[in-house]
Every structure is written in C-alpha cells, then in structure tokens.
Structure 1
Amino acid sequence: MDIRSKGLVKPHSSLFALLARVLDFSAVLLGVVVTALFFKGSVTQDYLVAALGSVVCLQLAAEFAEIYRSWRSETIWAEAKQVSLCWSASFIFALAVGSMTHLEDTLFSWPQFAQWYLLTLVCLLSWRLLARFLLQRARDKGHNTRSVAIAGNGALAIEVAHRLENCTWGGYVIKGFYDDRQGIKGELEDVDLTVRDAHGVQRVQNFAGEFSDLIASARRGEIDKVYLTLPMRAEKRIKWLIKELSASTVSVYLIPDVFMFDLLHARTVNLNGVPAIGVVGEPNRGTMSILKRMEDVILAGLILALISGPMLCIAAAVKLTSSGPIFFRQTRYGLDGKPFKVWKFRTMTVCEDNSAQIKQAQKNDARITPLGGFLRRTSLDELPQFINVLEGNMSIVGPRPHAVAHNEMYREQISGYMLRHKIKPGITGWAQINGLRGETDTLDKMERRVEYDLHYIRNWSVLWDIKIIFLTIFKGFIGKNAF
C-alpha cells in the first residue's frame, strides 16, 4: 500500500487537538482585541480578563460536546452546529457574569458584545472550514485516506457503501464487499458504486472476496476500517469475524440492521455503560425544545397582536348569526398523547366533544352554519389556536391534532400513527400546505397525512418552520377539501 494513503492526522491526533484548542483561544482573543480597538482604541486589562474567562467556559463546554474529536465522517454543518452551540453557551455565561460587574460598561455593552460574539463565531468556523478544505485537497491527491471494507451484502451493505461514497470529504477508499455466502458475487454485480481518488472517479470492484480474504487483507495492514453489515440473526458469524479481525489493527464497526424499522430521530444512548440504540427517539427535546418554544412564543405573540382586531369581528359575527357560544373547545391529543382542549371559533350548531363516534364535517353538512362554512374554508375558525400556542399545548407548525375518537380509530389502522405525538400539534403543517387538509374520509388520505407529518418530524428545523408558515399564507388556509 502506498505510504501516502496512511493517516497523517490520526498518529498525531493529540497534537492536532492541542492545535485546535490554541486556534479557538486565538479566535476568542482576536474577537476581543478587534472589538476593543474598534470601540475604545486600546486593549485594557478588563478585555483580556473577559477573553480568558470566556475561553475557560468554551473549553468546558467543548469537553461535554466533544468538538475536538474526529469529524471525518460528518458534515461541516454538523460540526458548525456543535461549535456554535458551545460558543453561544460560553458567551451567554460570560455575558451574564459581565453584566453583574463593572465590565458591563465596556465589553458587555451594546453593540460591543454583539460584535465580539459574531466576530469570534466567524473565526471559530472559518479555520475549521479552511482545515476541511485543505484536508479534502490532500485526500483527493491520495494523502490521509482510509481504506475501508464492507462485510456483508444486501440493502444495508449497499446503503453503507453509498453513504461512504457520498462522504466525498472523508477520503474513504472502498475496497468492496466481502461475504462467504454462495451467490453473493452475482447479487452485487448490478450495484453502481464509484469512489473518487487521485485519478478521478472510478468504479469499485464490488465483490472483493470472501471473509478469509478480508481477514488476510486486514492482517497485512491493507485495510483501515471494516463495517459489519450482517443481519441480526447472523450472531455466530459476527462473533467469529470480530474475533478473527481482532488479530489485526483494523477498526471494526458493527452497523445494526435497524433500517427494517420506521426510524424516528434514532440515536445512540449510554445506558450506564451499555450502548443502546433509540429506534424511536425524542425530537425537539433539550436545546431544540427551547428553540422551538422561543419561536412559538415570539411568532404567536406577534400574530395575535396583528389579528386581534379581525378576531373580535369574527367573534361578534359568530354570536350574532347563530345561537350558542362563540368558542368551541374540543379534546385533542397533544405532546406524548396527553389530552388538551383546543380553541376554535364555533362553526356548527352542535358542539361534540370526546364522543365514541364523531362524524367529520363533509360537503353540504347541515350542522355547519353559513358563517361557519366560510370560516372553515378559510381556516379562520382556527385563529384562536394561537392561544393554545401561548399556553404551551400547541406549536405554530406541527401535525394537526385530531379528535380523540379519530385517534383511537387510526392508531390501530396506521403503523406509526401515534408517532405524530412525539412533538406538539400545530396550527399548520407540512401535510396541510401539500393539500392534505380537511376531511380524511378514506384510510389512504390519512396515511398520506401521517407520512407527511413524520417526514416533518424527522427533518425539523427553524428555517423549515418559517418556510411552512410563509407557504401557509398563500396556499395553506384555503383548500377544496375544507368543509
């Protein structure tokens, strides 16, 4: 094997980790110095004390987030997210301490602290982006690469291969698939697998050999990493292969075949020393839940301030055009399947709640008042649900809450239906702006709605929420299926 392909970073990982810490310290110091010179014309002792304190906070946060580990197999966005969270937490703590001291009149006054925060964040991310660029250039030329092999076959093996193939910045050179089962060579001939190396894009020799060939290559030092993609039932083969590979220095990774399940925010956890895989995870918990809640409170407050006038007009119209209460409160399932009362303007002559049989509104439904029909078609009857958002029972964006009777019916008929309740229900959602609103008179319609809801939960982000809210304004309120 060409000595150039051996790792250049890993043998000196401790030195590179130390260098990364020094660069982070320099980034914080540079941010303080530039801010001091821009606003004060000189760097005083107070600024240096603030820089030292924030560096200590950053290093403590970095230990918890492990930002000085290898990011070879992960995207720059994943690394940038962790670094940004670490610096933000450190800065907030330093800002809180500084605001209680005399430093509040210097570095921690507006807009000085904002400039320091942003400038430091740009420096922290910039040197990492530059390092990624230089490492990728070196790997494209055959330096600092990793030779990897995949043990097994089938969908999981092919999925791992394509993930490695798409990880263009990682410098992975795939030797191919290894398996000792009969017929495996023929099964892999149609797999379109390519890798990028110093000579450009080349096709991989898909079937590289049997397990005996894999073990021999590993012992000769020709392979750096082995990914085991055997099915769960192949316990004996897995144990035997791991034992044989332990006679070499190759790194072995066991890829569990969890793709057979409907994954929802799957992640690994440490159960008192025992690794466990959460097949159904908990989205929007921890930091993400705080971010989601801040988004809801700020936007709901602004929206309620804007629509308070129209809501008063609608309330008066509901009261004057039909007998009964202005608002209709019905029991729905919320976060973790816990019941809550949803607010709506009354649009019917009846107020059904939590009955064993609740008939969905249909076209030309006699129960709907003339004004109620207009409110339902335009979704104006749902404006009071912003009160639910401020109460904390709902979110602005999320899966629409269904009546209790409908939940109990569909949870038995649609796989993964109750996973919609892993987050708070929303006033609007990904399903609604894609035309899946109103009556769900067939199982197929509800299955499609659930599919869109789960897709949203798996890929949630603040930017996506803003996009959904924006699209709701133009095509989410009015729909042909809303009666």
Structure 2
Amino acid sequence: MLLANLSADTSAPSPRLLSKYSTAADACLRISDLAMVLVAALLAYRLRFDTWTPAIGDWIPISTSILSAALCFNAFPLYRSWRGRGVLSEVWILGLAWTTVLALISVHTWLLQLDRPTYLLWVGLWYVLGFALLGFSRVAVRGVLSMLRSAGIDVRRVVVVGMRPPVIRIHRYLRQNAWVGMQIVGYFSTRDDINIADSTDLHCLGPVQNLREYLAGDRVEEVWISLPMGKLGRIKSVLTMLDKTPVKVKLVPDTSELAALNQSGEQIGSVPVINLRQGSDAPDNSFFIIKAAMDRTLALVALVGLAPLMLAIALAVKLSSPGPVLFRQKRHGRAGEEFSMLKFRSMRADLPASAEVRQATRGDPRVTRLGAFLRRSSLDELPQLFNVLGGSMSLVGPRPHAIQHNRQYGMLINCYMQRHYVKPGITGWAQVNGFRGETPRLRDMKKRVQYDMDYIRRWSPWLDLKIMALTAVRLFGQKQAY
C-alpha cells in the first residue's frame, strides 16, 4: 500500500516487474555482505595478532558469523526493496542486524572459552570494521543504482487514476529525488479531480475510460488510484477495468482532510489497515528501540557525570529557602498517562497552595533568587533524568505541560492532544526554536504545538542528537525562562 508519505511496497516484486538491475543489485548485496563479514574478521585479526592467517580454532567463530549473518540479515530484513526509503533507515536496520550477529558470536566465543582479553579486542575491532565495510558496500550499491536511475535507467513508470493532493506531493518528491527510480508519466482524469493548472507539470492522458487502451499500447509497471475515500464504487470500477492487465495497482488515499499524523499501512491477519494517527515511537517501529536505548544510556551517563553538580544544587536549594529539594507535579505522558515530573524546587514553599496552576512570569514573587538562576540555565530540569531512566520521559520530545493547561489548550488548539502520541522530553524542537517558558498569547502556544507536530513527523535519531546539541547552545540563559 502506498500512502501519501511514499511508504515503499515491502512485498517481494513479481519476476516480470523486477528489473535486471535490481536483481543484480540484490545478488551483489547478498554476496558482498557475507564477503564484508569475512574481510572484517581477517582485517581485525591482522590488526590484533599481526597475521592474516587465523588459527584453526579461530575459524569456528568466523564461519559461524557468516552463517549467522546470512540468517539475521534475511530476518530483519535487509534484502527487501529500499526504493523510496532513505539511506539512514537502511543503515540503522543494518546496525541492529550486525549487532545481533556479533552478539551471537560473542556468546559463541564465551561458550568455547575463547573469551580471553585478546579475543575480546579482536571481536571489538571486528564489530567496528564490519559495520563500516557493510555500510560502505550498501552506500556504494545505492550510489550506482542512483546514477543509473538519474540517467533514466531502471526507472519504474507509473500512471495515476485521479488527481488529488497526495499525488502532487509524491510527484514533486520523485522529481527532486531521481535516485528513487519512479516516474509518474501522467494521469487519467475523473470527475473528482482537483484543479492543477499551475501547480504541476503532470499532463492528462485522457479520461479514465481510456486507461485499458493506454496500458495495452504502453509498458507501465504500476497504476495508482487516487480517488476520494468515499468513492468506493468508482475505485471498484477501475479495478475491474484492470482485471486483465498484469500490472501492480496501488491505492493513494487522500488523508489531507483527516488531520493524519505519521500515517502508514499494515496488515492484520488478511485485512489491510491504514494508521491515520500515531507517534513515531510505536513499539513495532525499529526506531523505537533505538530511541529507548539512546534515552536510557545517555540519561545514565549524564546522571553519573553530573552527580556532583546535582548534589551541589540540592544542597543550595535546601539552604536557600525552607522546603523540599525536589518539586513534583503530575503531568501527562505518552498516551495521556499521568506521571510525576521531577524538578529542583525553584519557588517558595511557604506560600498558600492555589487551585490554579499559573505559568511563571517575569519578576514572579514565587520564584526564589536561586530558583531564577536555575530556571534561566535549565538546571532545574536535571532531576528529569530520573524520569527518563524510569521510562516516563524521553531526553527529547514535546515538553510536558501541567494537566490543567492540557485541558485548557486541548479545547482551544486543534490537534493539541496529538503531542501525547510520544513521550514528553526534557527538551524539544519547539524549545530550541525559541518557544520556551511563558506563553502569554494563544498564538505562542499554537506555534509551540506546530513545532511539536513537526518533530513527531520528522523524528530520527539524528534529529534528537541535533536538538540536544542545540539545547546546550541556545537554551542556557534564554530570556523566555522566568
């Protein structure tokens, strides 16, 4: 199923439609992957033991690694069609598969009592070199295919039935990314088409009644149907027209009016299902594993490294004003679940409790002198590393708001509650773009929500690392934090 975000077809292509270049690339990848595993093992052995010839016993883990790679790389899988998918996605999946292979080899060497320090260093070098060589070989194959496709070779030709907004977006994407190897040659008009007078160079191939005649005289690999989702009768008539034509057919549903978020397709049993709204860290997403591992690993490292600073801040808070060191407040997390968010206390604790939760403002009498410094420098947020370690928060994500504010803004801002499709973060895309702290105007909160939605759509490990780097540069001392 092809959705508006150009999700690639993951099923095995039919022999008729699989080009000789794709077949050759698949065979080259399978052979080169196993060759790179062997080369990495021998190169690491040479660096560690100063010889290219492993001992007889050392050939056991090497041969086992080749067998494990053949099985694991197919299981993840790494040999499906990557046409239309970014190279970073493939590299991440490759990293997970290669890590699994070396984990199996490490266990194997331990069982064979080969876990001496010299062998552990060999396996470590093997892991690094193997990942580098495997990644290089795949990027090289992609580069060759990209050059071929940019030159018009191995390009999959597509015609569209109907003209809806998703088709225009896909067409623009394909024109800007020739390496994908797809070309929309034109569309057949229907009564539900939108006006595309000046918005695209796609030309009309005639009314939909001419589709069968066109396919009989021109070789086209795929037909995409782009009709309103309520026009099932017309979709069925197009499918009937294509019954005697051995061509791939895909549905491009128009979800633009449904406020969809990270839409994708899946199959439950024998029933195809379209996910209209979901976060980017769903448990069935491979990136979910990466994000969870990044969060906990970096949070643990940060807690160990910042322990002296956090102890000093805790002591300063305790001495500066009466009250507890930590401030706890209920916030909404992923899927709206409540959790207690931790902060160093930055406000006076001897003031009468108020039923209304108010944002801190400039010159707020509730904020202590030390608290003002902690808030400006974001040091009051450090205890949230414990929230990250416990799994209720992430290092990067939409900032969690007070529950009362969620109820208030949820009524005023469309899609506001979609922020809770992912875990809240200590910092976020909105914060590094200037929308941090007090939001006195509704439009300020709307802008923050727009950045949060953009983050959820675009999430990747690299975006998280970029936001963390920008946090260190932009947030400390930012004037919006009172």
> TM bucket by the smaller chain?
0.7 to 0.9
Aligned counterparts of 2:136 and 2:167: Cα–Cα separation in 1 = 35
Post-superposition shift, 1:56? 2.7
SS of the residue corresponding to residue 331 of structure 1 reads strand
- Matching residue within 200, 204, 209 for 2:206: 209
* TM-score, normalised by the number of residues in structure 2: 0.86
Q: Check the 8 A contact 2:410/2:416 in 1, yes or no.
A: yes
Is 429-438 or 262-271 further displaced after alignment? 262-271
Tell me the equivalent position of 1:473. Answer: 472
Q: Check the 8 A contact 2:162/2:193 in 1, yes or no.
A: no
Q: How many residues align?
A: 464
Aligned counterparts of 1:433 and 1:458: Cα–Cα separation in 2 = 17
Q: Check the 8 A contact 1:46/1:103 in 2, yes or no.
A: no
Q: 1:78 to 1:214 in 2, by over 3 A?
A: farther
Aligned counterparts of 1:170 and 1:396: Cα–Cα separation in 2 = 33
Is 74-83 or 449-458 further displaced after alignment? 74-83
Q: 1:269 to 1:318 in 2, by over 3 A?
A: same
Post-superposition shift, 1:362? 2.2
Post-superposition shift, 1:70? 2.5
* TM-score, normalised by the number of residues in structure 1: 0.86
One-letter amino acid matched to 1:269: E
Which stretches in structure 1 are left out of the alignment for 5+ residues?
1-5, 194-203
- Matching residue within 14, 34, 48 for 2:43: 34
Aligned counterparts of 1:182 and 1:8: Cα–Cα separation in 2 = 30
SS of the residue corresponding to residue 252 of structure 1 reads strand
RMSD: 3.0
Post-superposition shift, 1:244? 0.7
Please give the per-residue CA displacement for 1:141-197, whole angstroms capped at 9, x wherever unaligned: 44333221121113122122223323302333432121133987xx3331333xxxx
SS of the residue corresponding to residue 104 of structure 1 reads coil
Aligned counterparts of 2:455 and 2:351: Cα–Cα separation in 1 = 30
Are 2:436 and 1:427 equivalent residues in the alignment? no
Higher RCO (C-alpha under 8 Å, 6+ residues apart): 2
Q: 1:360 to 1:172 in 2, by over 3 A?
A: closer
Q: Check the 8 A contact 2:334/2:423 in 1, yes or no.
A: yes
Q: 1:207 to 1:355 in 2, by over 3 A?
A: farther
SS of the residue corresponding to residue 411 of structure 2 reads coil
**Aligned ranges 1:155-174 → 2 under 5 Å:** 155-174=165-184
Post-superposition shift, 1:300? 2.9
**Aligned ranges 1:52-451 → 2 under 5 Å:** 52-105=63-116, 108-110=119-121, 112-181=122-191, 187-193=195-201, 206-286=203-283, 287-350=286-349, 357-451=356-450
Q: 1:17 to 1:348 in 2, by over 3 A?
A: closer
Aligned counterparts of 1:285 and 1:352: Cα–Cα separation in 2 = 42
Aligned counterparts of 1:115 and 1:212: Cα–Cα separation in 2 = 62
One-letter amino acid matched to 1:27: M
Please give the per-residue CA displacement for 1:408-461, whole angstroms capped at 9, x wherever unaligned: 222222222222223222222221121111112222221111111222222223
One-letter amino acid matched to 1:77: L
One-letter amino acid matched to 1:124: L
Post-superposition shift, 1:276? 1.0
Q: 1:180 to 1:300 in 2, by over 3 A?
A: closer
Q: Check the 8 A contact 1:332/1:341 in 2, yes or no.
A: yes
Query: Equivalent pairs: percent with the same residue?
Result: 34
One-letter amino acid matched to 1:244: M
**Aligned ranges 1:6-17 → 2 under 5 Å:** 9-10=18-19, 17=26
